[in-house]
């Protein structure tokens, strides 16, 4: 369910009194992650959360990054007992020896997975066929898929990766999208994106993406929000639009079109 006690409707688990938590929900939670360092960070922090709340961990995250070498698995894998003993004295993190020591063993297992698959990202996204699972119903604590991933990670030497922890990790890195149906983040994701081409007065073609083509054209023509490339090149003419879907798909399509020759672009325009 969504929390409507604010200017924006958000998932009901968000503490609206905590700006840090609100920002995490709005900008991070459920957004697909494809950076290995970020994957490792969430694995470690979700494990640290066990028995606690994510809000507690979120408040400590900046300090975690500082004392855990910005979650570099290569450095953490080399931590000695004196280093973990020092971490046990640090009040800025969760002082649980098993959790701290698991970060070291997990770093070693993480590096092994990178060597085997090329990246942890390739390994983990294969479980969802490289496409986020879209949920709009009741948020669960674990699923058969989180059971499967948990089991595989444990076989590979990971610790503090039980099914509940892994499902929370899956939500955090966007393997599953659990934003409520009424949440503004979910609604924003459902807005279609378009690729468009604009012709300038000197007959060059500009390619861009947007969710509102006419509004974007007006911005290019009359405001500082428009592309610098188009300034002083009016009058501008919108010569092509293509509904693509998600922003990621629009970015990929934009790149394809940008790599086309002008003749190929004109041929595409003439087919409209």
Residues belonging to the active site: 24, 46, 54
What is the number of other CB atoms lying within 10 angstroms of the CB of residue 5? 10
Q: How far apart are CA 108 and CA 97, in angstroms?
A: 17
Q: How far apart are CA 6 and CA 119, in angstroms?
A: 40
Contact between 174 and 30 (Cβ < 8 Å): yes
> What is the biggest distance separating any 2 CA atoms in the chain, rounded to whole angstroms?
69
Place of tokens 């009741």: 138
Contact between 193 and 209 (Cβ < 8 Å): yes
């Amino acid at each position: 369910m969504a929390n409507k006690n604010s200017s924006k409707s958000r998932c009901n688990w968000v503490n609206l009194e905590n700006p840090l938590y609100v920002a995490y929900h709005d900008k991070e939670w459920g957004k697909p992650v494809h950076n290995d360092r970020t994957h490792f960070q969430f694995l470690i922090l979700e494990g640290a959360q066990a028995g606690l709340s994510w809000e507690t961990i979120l408040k400590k995250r900046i300090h975690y990054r500082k004392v855990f070498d910005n979650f570099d698995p290569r450095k953490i894998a080399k931590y000695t007992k004196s280093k973990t003993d020092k971490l046990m004295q640090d009040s800025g993190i969760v002082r649980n020896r098993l959790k701290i020591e698991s970060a070291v063993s997990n770093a070693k297992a993480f590096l092994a997975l990178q060597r085997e698959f090329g990246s942890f990202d390739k390994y983990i996204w294969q479980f969802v066929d490289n496409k986020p699972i879209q949920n709009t119903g009741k948020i669960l604590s674990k699923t058969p898929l989180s059971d499967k991933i948990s089991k595989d990670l444990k076989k590979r030497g990971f610790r503090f990766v039980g099914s509940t922890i892994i499902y929370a990790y899956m939500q955090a890195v966007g393997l599953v999208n659990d934003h409520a149906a009424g949440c503004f983040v979910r609604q924003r994701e459902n807005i279609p994106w378009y690729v468009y081409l604009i012709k300038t007065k000197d007959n060059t073609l500009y390619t861009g993406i947007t969710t509102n083509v006419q509004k974007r054209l007006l911005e290019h023509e009359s405001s500082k929000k428009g592309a610098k490339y188009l300034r002083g090149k009016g009058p501008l003419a919108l010569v092509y639009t293509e509904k693509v879907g998600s922003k990621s798909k629009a970015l990929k399509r934009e790149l394809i079109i940008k790599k086309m020759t002008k003749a190929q672009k004109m041929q595409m325009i003439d087919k409209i």
